[in-house]
Amino acid sequence: MIKIALPALILLCVASLNQGVKKRCRLPIAEGNCTDYTRVWGYDNSRNTCVSFTYGGCGGNANRFRYKIKCMTACVKHYKKRKARKRWRKARKKIFQCVRRP
CATH code, 28: 4.10.410.10
Phi, psi of 86 (to 5 degrees): -65, -45
pLDDT tens readout for residues 70-99: 999 899 877 766 666 777 788 888 777 777
What pLDDT sits at residue 18? 45
What pLDDT sits at residue 19? 47
Cβ proximity of 27 and 64 under 8 Å: no
Q: How far apart are CA 11 and CA 5, in angstroms?
A: 10
What pLDDT sits at residue 8? 56
The beta strands (E) that lie in 1-102 are given as 38-44, 49-55
What parts of the chain have a pLDDT lower than 70? 1-21, 80-84, 100-102
What pLDDT sits at residue 65? 97
Q: Residue 69 sits in which domain range?
A: 2-100
Number of independent structural domains in the chain: 1
What pLDDT sits at residue 86? 75
Overall pTM > 0.75: no
**CA distances, 17 to each of 22, 26, 96 (Å):** 9, 15, 33
